[in-house]
Amino acid sequence: MSGVTDISPVGDDVHLGDLGEHAILKHILRPRYGGVRGFGDDCAVLDASEGLRGELVATTDSCPTPLVTILGETDPYHAGWLLATINLSDLAAAGATPLGLVVNYTLPKTTTAGEFRRLLDGVDDCAEVHGTKVVGGDLRDGPVRQLSATAIGRCVPGSRLGRAGAEAGDRLLLVGSPGYLWAYALLVEKQARLPGSLVAEIRERACRPMAQVTAGRTLATAGLARAAMDVSDGLFPTVRSLCGANGLGARITTDLRLDDAPADVCVQSGLGRFELAQAWGDWTLVVAVRPQDAELAKKTLAGEGIAAQEIGTFVPGAEGISLDDGEPWEGIAQERFSPSSWHGGELRQLITEVLGRHAG
């Protein structure tokens, strides 16, 4: 998919520590990125004309151990794909068009050339699908793998989205299809069974999540979105952050839609759809739109083949954040520097913590 023709004499089994930086650059990175403008320089090069036509935005994020690794998907490709997705998803929340990724890899010397190539394949393929590419980066050795990236994007003048800008009465739209990552976890843990073709579909969506770049850009440039944030830590902390940025509360419906396959997993696992939809890992967006624009926004996204559903309404801040039964919403949150911060772990315990489901 990445379209890289590897003519390198370095075999996949060679350890990076046996090659050294010069040989890695010459035999692995140059065959892949040698055609990128400024390759080998200390700074990545972006087309200056792109920045003149709009507002430049940048984001940086690191990539933790993907949940799919715990599910048995140990190919480094998935970590590379997730690294790109995490950063491109932040650009999506700004309504930006990606211009390029700057990547940073700290890898143990025992990493093989083949493992490194698969990591690069994942980043490159994800970037390509989202209409961008790697434009620079850094590589160093260290005792443990650490992956981070910076994504640069461009917003149409006057269209950049942030977390602030919403008002009481605005509708909240959930953009994208939630539930696939943790549906796959439940399938791996044998809490549900589906035909092989459906399992393969859920696995694909779990291993290769898509940032909602097209959706964010479409809503922003059409003037239909007032605020947005990507769902990186779970639906609850996303809504809470948007409420905090706007001094508002929210009333959220528990009647959320899932695609048929993850919905079937819910039924078999004894879970409600809301339990799966509020979990993290599918890189959806929450977007605030004016009440009169909600249907047009959904129709516009449907024209792009993008799912969107109304999940609630902003209310005055004094009303707090509640569910449709009137009870305060204290949802799950996978937040840094907290007991729920993602550090991996044993699958059954993770399912219990994230979904409230005691496996087996």
Is position 324 annotated in a ligand binding site? Answer: no
Is position 282 annotated in a ligand binding site? Answer: no
Secondary structure (DSSP) of 131-199: T--EEEEEEEE-SS-EEEEEEEEEE-TT----S----TTPEEEEES---HHHHHHHHHTTS----HHHH
Is position 163 annotated in a ligand binding site? Answer: yes
CB 238 within 8 A of CB 231: yes
Is position 293 annotated in a ligand binding site? Answer: no
One-letter amino acid of 58: A
Instruction: Copy the structure tokens of residue 175.
Output: 């953009």
Is position 329 annotated in a ligand binding site? Answer: yes
Is position 47 annotated in a ligand binding site? Answer: no
Is position 325 annotated in a ligand binding site? Answer: no
CB 146 within 8 A of CB 62: yes
Is position 112 annotated in a ligand binding site? Answer: no
CB 14 within 8 A of CB 112: yes
Is position 97 annotated in a ligand binding site? Answer: no
Residue 15 DSSP one-character state: B
298 vs 302: CA distance, rounded Å: 6
CB 307 within 8 A of CB 161: no
Residue in this structure with the two tokens 């003048």, named with its chain if needed: 157
N-to-C CA span, the chain: 38
Q: Of 268, 288, 271, 247, nearest to 332 (Cα)?
A: 271
Is position 255 annotated in a ligand binding site? Answer: no
Is position 141 annotated in a ligand binding site? Answer: no
The angle that helices 196-207 and 260-269 make with each other, rounded to 10 degrees, is 100
What are the binding residues for ATP?
137-138, 163, 232
Annotated binding site for Mg(2+): 42, 59-61, 90, 138, 230, 233
Residue set of the binding site: 42, 59-61, 90, 137-138, 163, 230, 232-233, 329
Binding positions for substrate: 329
